[in-house]
Structure 1
Amino acid sequence: MNDMSHPPRDLAVALVGNPNCGKTALFNALTGSHQRAANYPGVTVERKTGRLATPGGRQLRLTDLPGTYSLRARSLDEAITRDVVLGLCQGEARPDVLVCVADATNLRLGLRLVLELKRTGVPLLLSLNMIDIARHRGIEIDLERLSAELGIPVVTSVAVRRGGTEALLAEIDGREIRAAAPPSSAWTAPDAAGLRALQREADRIVAAAVRVPDRRDALTRRLDAVVLHPVAGILVLLAVLFLMFQAVFAWAEPAMELIDGGFGLLGDAVGATLPTEGGLGLLRSFLQDGLIAGVGGVLVFLPQILILFLFILLLEDFGYMARAAFLMDRIMGGAGLHGRAFIPLLSSFACAIPGIMATRVIDNRRDRLATILVAPLMTCSARIPVYTLIIAAFIPDETVWGWVGLQGLVMFGLYAIGIVSALGMSFVFRRLLWRDVRGDPFMLELPDYKWPRVRDVAISLWQRARAFLYRAGTIILAMTMVIWFLTSVPRPPEGATQPEIEYSFAYSIGHAVEPVLRPIGFNWQIGVALIPGMAAREVAVAALGTVYAIEAAEDDSAELGTALAGKWSLATALAFLAWYVFAPQCAATLAVIRRETASAKWMWFTFGYMLVLAYAAAFVTFQTASFLGAG
């Protein structure tokens, strides 16, 4: 036992385990709000660290390593875990203690990883997570026999329950854990034969220490019979996606009205307080037309973005994501994508950046690159402000078939176009770029169904809301200020009779690019919005809000949607939506593509092909709609 009169030094503890073993839930339970996220030096792999104090007074610095099945490291995520464990990761000290987290309901792969970790020489503990589920299923684990077979301490944990980490912390407190040895050059990655030998040893230990009842979980069997069925499973997936997009409109409306009303009151207060003439008039324009109209026009869509994230988080935690990936493997394989690409592409619905980063789980470089190239075509949350603005302004708020919202149906259609275009472009890339390259077979372990933990979902939602607010307070705010400056300077000369915006830099810029945009139905105001919108798609909404607020002059209270409905034709609105289905208007996404591919070539290739697609789609849409009388 530790001498409590001499508090032990801080320990660097790393959590390592297979994907879907509950490792991150255990990390959240241990660290609570005392955690932060960053990237490992030189790569875009996310690193989560946190601090906590054990009941015995030991200070722990905890790191949640990316999930891995083996230290053989076939993907970038697994390579980071291997390098941290071995002390080879630049800027990351070797852990003093490894806590291997294993799913107590399925120990085969978890124990094989334990046997690999033992060979590294780092002090090791095994935490059997989800032990409550294992016991409920009648699985009996002899902890003493398991500990003796492995030669390491074994404890149980339930990350989702209060007190579920007490045994783990008590084990850390109750043992004098030596510091990790320096990196060893003697360690070598196991080859295929070595892995098979380790798996045979893991199976022997499971047979000796674990007794599993001769029945499969009935609920899992019944659910999988439906969601993995080649026909019923596809219908379930479509129903889930349809519900998600309907909810984006229906559920978010009250919160959006509240936010919109708040910014409206704020703008009215500024307009009533400051005069319209002189220097204070310029300040009034900046605050009301630039800051409030621009940033407020983007923040109003936060509820819809959070609802989209909520669905994705719940589906992942419930265990449905992996099953959807299996279900889509045949369809995606026909389009030239690996089955593992489904989860990164579905994640790209929220944001293409984490979706692109999630491709690190794909082993084959060609498969990973193909997924990266088409991930930006998936309809990310940054498009929601644009889609919602145009749909609300031009699509009637009514139901079809008696119960389906027409606006939500149009939103679903835009998402479907993004999905189909991603599959189509992947098919083209495979035929043109990688015709003779064979893909690897798709293998993925299906996790058990389990109820998502409210606390974990809430933490993840808050992190995403904070990221969006940070984006609104930095990139969007900065671009809004630039847009306001361009639309307000130079000031009109004495005796000017035209709207003040016609004397501005923005008016000159817009008219300079208008000839290129005229064939697709775009006016000079849209041209002004598209240019700064290259920084972030949401900026286009802020830009349109600022341009039309200043242009309106005498009618500052007019909502942006109302202004667009009065100035755009339906053909222009539809062309604008078509443009945003394909347009590469996100500088951060392009930067991540460059980092993940380690090549500027693929970044510019993505920008180029998406720009061509966007112009072609907008041209066809505008010309067709105009021919049909919508121009």
Structure 2
Amino acid sequence: MTAAATSPATISVALIGNPNTGKSTLFNALSGGRVRTGNYPGVTVEKKSGRAEFHGRQFRLVDLPGTYSLAPKSPDEMVAVDVLLGRRKDEPQPDVVLCIVDASNLERNFYLLSQVLDLGLPAVVAVNMMDLAESRGVKISLDKLAAKVPVQFVAVQANQGKGINELKQALAAAAEKPATKIDSPFPAAFQEEVRKLSVLTQKNAEPLPRYLAERLLLDTSGYLAGAELPGVSQELLKELPAARERLKQAGAPVPAVEAMARYQWAGEVLKSAVARPKERTDTFSDKVDRVLTHRVYGTLVFMVVMFVLFQSVSWIAEPAGAATDWLVGAAGDFVKWLIPAGPLQSLLANGVVAGVGGVIVFLPQILTLFLFIAILEDCGYMARAAYLMDKLMVRVGLSGKSFIPLLTSFSCAIPGIMAARVIENRRDRLVTMLVAPLMSCSARIPVYVLLIETFFPDRTWLWGVISLKGLVYLAMYSLGAVVGIGIAWLLKLTILRGPTPPFVLELPSYKWPGPWIVLHRMFEQGWAFVYRAGTLILLVQIVVWALAYYPHDERVLAAGVRDREAALLAEVEPLKQDFEEYDAKLNAAKISDKEKEKDSAYVAKKEAFEAKQAELDDVQGHIAGTLLENSYLGRAGKAIEPAVKPLGWDWKLGSAAIASFPAREVIVATLGTIYNLGEGAEADSTPLHEQLKDAKWDGTDKPVYTRPVALSVMVFFALCAQCASTLAIMKRETGSYWWPIFTFFYMTGLAYVGAFIAYQGGTWLGL
């Protein structure tokens, strides 16, 4: 009995098709946007499922990875085969298979269709992009196709919602029909060898399905032989070389016999059903590609597109990020106003609210980048960009598809890692994700700004066109890219060793991006980031807060310092109230700010308030710094001081580095607290600049910060994996804790060595 014959309460439908056939668009149209995403356990393949109800039945839709063939050579590629055969515990065997084909390129798409039909499951074929085929003069008779292949063919135009109702009706009907069966397209000699292998597997408790027996015979890579498939014995494996030799002698060499047999089958099926023009018409896509894929013109266009993309991120994401920061700050102030000072207030304001803010502050970048990436992908340009960059990437063992994720990582590594999903080859995908955090993201900017502006002079050359500070900025941004290229090359030679796969890329036709498709992809990626990465980064921020807050022993404070704070608070409040009331009075009289500065009473009240507030800030900063020094985080800084001293760092810098591992930009606020400035220090804070310049090693007059130390800190932050969100996303994308752990340790070690060289080398050169 087939799966369909049982008439389940919920019908499971698996969608499969070649890349760029509109499969994801059709999936979203059928599911109505009710989608869940995740990873299949143990692999890096995204698991996307949705639910829908039509024709009185409940449907569960599973979007399988886009593929050109069901010929697995890795665990990732095995997912689709395992799902279709019902061999995964986390996913039931589908009741119906929906195969999506591109009407303008049926021969290639029918190769995969023939493999799907070989599985013997109820199937429906959605013939997408009929309008594109017609524009090229291709005429397709679906009735003639159905007469040769025992499945229902439905014409659809997924991006415009055409044919969706007919497709739903076909799926409901297919679930009630017996399994689809076609004659094997392979020659008789091949079928006989498969029969012999099946006899050997029948000796075991779990005989190998016919399709896997075929694949085992065809797979010369050795993956399936070592995949511990049920029914595969040593006796069977020993028989494979002899079977392949017999097929070679019979004129059906492996693995070429599959391509010959399946394309011959496709040609016979399509011969009478598809009419093509005698001469190929020059399409709009062909004309545009003469420019966009040109070695010179295409590269120039690509540079302009990338410039506009990242400028757009800056124009849109930075104001949105500033607004997000303001909201988080307002929420923290509200918590402090609502809850009395103490551990609960600090936990909620500095742990929970700051933790949520540490996640949400990335969201504008995520949404903006994925908005533009979705537009470029849906219109067909992203494939051209990968094609142009392939020659550069292949030199380090990667392909052109790695370029866009790495470029994206210069704004934020998180969307860069997420964008690596487009890379089919598992090794290339992993290498890309492992080096993406080395690209200098926007979170490093506060560190660069603080140290470059403080310790490097305003020296310029060529009439001010070239500046020393600008060169240091460029060096810091270039460092991550250069080191990333070296690490990618090294990984491809060692733990992810393997040949660079041929860069086979289909250039889809250009089309207007669908607004709903673009918005859905953008918000889907944004929600996935907030939901999954948010939980981990929030937890880490709370842990860091606890380490920096406890044991909060007031006995370490100098005698009378709390009394001094209380006295200053009592003095500041009336001065503040007096100044604000006088200021409001002048505003009511419509006195301008410039005129206010000439009012002696206004100036006196303002200066009195600000002077007393500065005294209070100094005392509160001293209290915060002393408590932090004696906190668990401060003690950890003291403990690691011998390890960081060769980098030119003291315990305070060590503590700041530890605190910044959840998020790099935390170091600025942490340094502000450590140097008695409280928690509100910013990267452009003049007092912080001065405090860093004046900082001395404990018990000496030797300055902590010099130009080599500044270089050491920047190099460390340029190379270190200080972003819990990035590691959380890497865990999600790889489906394993191993890769983020490996990334953390290799980048931390790399950062330490780089910082050591920067400090020792800079000191030796007399910087």
What TM-score do the two structures reach when normalised by structure 1?
A: 0.82
SS at match of 1:321: helix
Residue 520 of structure 2 is aligned to residue 463 of structure 1:
no
After superposition, residues 316-355 of structure 1 pair within 5 angstroms as 316-339=377-400, 341-342=402-403, 345=406, 349-351=413-415, 353-354=417-418
Q: How far is the alpha carbon of 1:116 from its aligned partner?
A: 1.7
Aligned to 1:492: 554
> Do the aligned partners of 1:479 and 1:532 also contact (CA within 8 Å) in 2?
no
> Do the aligned partners of 1:293 and 1:542 also contact (CA within 8 Å) in 2?
no
Aligned to 1:377: 435
- Render the CA deviation track for 1:439-488: whole Å, top value 9, x for unaligned: 44332222222232222222222222223323564222222222222222
> Do the aligned partners of 1:376 and 1:584 also contact (CA within 8 Å) in 2?
no
- Render the CA deviation track for 1:135-173: whole Å, top value 9, x for unaligned: 344332111122223232111112222444122112234
After superposition, residues 445-524 of structure 1 pair within 5 angstroms as 445-471=506-532, 473-490=534-551, 491-493=553-555, 495-496=558-559, 497=561, 498-499=622-623, 500-520=627-647, 522-524=649-651
Aligned to 2:210: 186
Q: Distance in 1 between matches of 2:45 and 2:357?
A: 32
After superposition, residues 104-503 of structure 1 pair within 5 angstroms as 104-174=103-173, 177-178=176-177, 185-187=209-211, 188-189=214-215, 191-213=255-277, 214-275=279-340, 280-339=341-400, 341-342=402-403, 345=406, 349-351=413-415, 353-354=417-418, 359=423, 361-362=424-425, 368-369=426-427, 372-373=430-431, 375-379=433-437, 384=441, 386-390=443-447, 393=450, 417-429=479-491, 439-471=500-532, 473-490=534-551, 491-493=553-555, 495-496=558-559, 497=561, 498-499=622-623, 500-503=627-630
Q: Distance in 2 between matches of 1:463 and 1:477?
A: 20
Aligned to 1:29: 29
SS at match of 1:16: strand
Residue 665 of structure 2 is aligned to residue 541 of structure 1:
yes
Q: Distance in 1 between matches of 2:256 and 2:132?
A: 32
SS at match of 1:24: helix
SS at match of 1:476: helix
- Render the CA deviation track for 1:249-282: whole Å, top value 9, x for unaligned: 222222122222222323333444555xxxx334
Q: How far is the alpha carbon of 1:604 from its aligned partner?
A: 7.1
| Residue type at the aligned position of 1:531 | I
Q: Distance in 2 between matches of 1:150 and 1:52?
A: 28
Moved more, 349-358 or 68-77: 349-358
Aligned to 1:57: 56
Q: How far is the alpha carbon of 1:215 from its aligned partner?
A: 3.5
Q: Distance in 2 between matches of 1:328 and 1:162?
A: 34
| Residue type at the aligned position of 1:208 | S
SS at match of 2:665: helix
Q: 1:96 to 1:201 in 2, by over 3 A?
A: same
Q: Distance in 1 between matches of 2:314 and 2:487?
A: 29
| Residue type at the aligned position of 2:635 | S
| Residue type at the aligned position of 1:197 | A
Q: Distance in 1 between matches of 2:749 and 2:384?
A: 35
Identity over aligned residues, as a percent?
38
Q: How far is the alpha carbon of 1:434 from its aligned partner?
A: 9.1
Q: How far is the alpha carbon of 1:130 from its aligned partner?
A: 2.0
Q: How far is the alpha carbon of 1:409 from its aligned partner?
A: 11
> Do the aligned partners of 1:351 and 1:380 also contact (CA within 8 Å) in 2?
no
Q: How far is the alpha carbon of 1:414 from its aligned partner?
A: 6.0
Number of aligned pairs? Answer: 603
| Residue type at the aligned position of 1:200 | Q
Q: Distance in 1 between matches of 2:320 and 2:51?
A: 35
Aligned to 1:365: none
Q: 1:558 to 1:533 in 2, by over 3 A?
A: closer
- Render the CA deviation track for 1:21-74: whole Å, top value 9, x for unaligned: 1101111111123221133244332211111111x2122111111111112223
- Render the CA deviation track for 1:320-350: whole Å, top value 9, x for unaligned: 3332333222222222234554466567654
> Do the aligned partners of 1:227 and 1:233 also contact (CA within 8 Å) in 2?
yes
Aligned to 1:83: 82
- Render the CA deviation track for 1:297-332: whole Å, top value 9, x for unaligned: 553332123222333333322323332333222222
Aligned to 1:38: 38
- Render the CA deviation track for 1:395-416: whole Å, top value 9, x for unaligned: 78xxx9999xx99999887665
SS at match of 2:87: coil
SS at match of 1:378: helix
Q: Distance in 1 between matches of 2:172 and 2:656?
A: 59
Aligned to 1:3: none
| Residue type at the aligned position of 1:185 | P
SS at match of 2:104: coil
> Do the aligned partners of 1:104 and 1:134 also contact (CA within 8 Å) in 2?
yes
- Render the CA deviation track for 1:609-629: whole Å, top value 9, x for unaligned: 433432233345556777999
Moved more, 557-566 or 330-339: 557-566
Q: Distance in 1 between matches of 2:472 and 2:311?
A: 10
Q: 1:229 to 1:357 in 2, by over 3 A?
A: closer
Q: 1:219 to 1:476 in 2, by over 3 A?
A: same
Q: 1:65 to 1:233 in 2, by over 3 A?
A: same
- Render the CA deviation track for 1:83-136: whole Å, top value 9, x for unaligned: 211222233221111110011222221112112211111011110112233334
Q: Distance in 1 between matches of 2:284 and 2:479?
A: 35
> Do the aligned partners of 2:435 and 2:487 also contact (CA within 8 Å) in 1?
no
Q: How far is the alpha carbon of 1:287 from its aligned partner?
A: 3.4
Q: How far is the alpha carbon of 1:544 from its aligned partner?
A: 5.2
Q: How far is the alpha carbon of 1:543 from its aligned partner?
A: 6.5
Q: Distance in 2 between matches of 1:515 and 1:567?
A: 23
Q: Distance in 2 between matches of 1:401 and 1:160?
A: 55
> Do the aligned partners of 2:39 and 2:735 also contact (CA within 8 Å) in 1?
no
Q: How far is the alpha carbon of 1:509 from its aligned partner?
A: 1.0
Q: Distance in 1 between matches of 2:406 and 2:758?
A: 26
Q: 1:104 to 1:408 in 2, by over 3 A?
A: farther
Q: 1:229 to 1:385 in 2, by over 3 A?
A: closer
Residue 642 of structure 2 is aligned to residue 581 of structure 1:
no
Q: How far is the alpha carbon of 1:596 from its aligned partner?
A: 5.8
Q: Distance in 2 between matches of 1:369 and 1:22?
A: 26
| Residue type at the aligned position of 1:139 | V
Q: 1:578 to 1:103 in 2, by over 3 A?
A: farther
| Residue type at the aligned position of 1:146 | L
RMSD: 4.1
Q: Distance in 2 between matches of 1:503 and 1:167?
A: 70
> Do the aligned partners of 1:14 and 1:98 also contact (CA within 8 Å) in 2?
yes
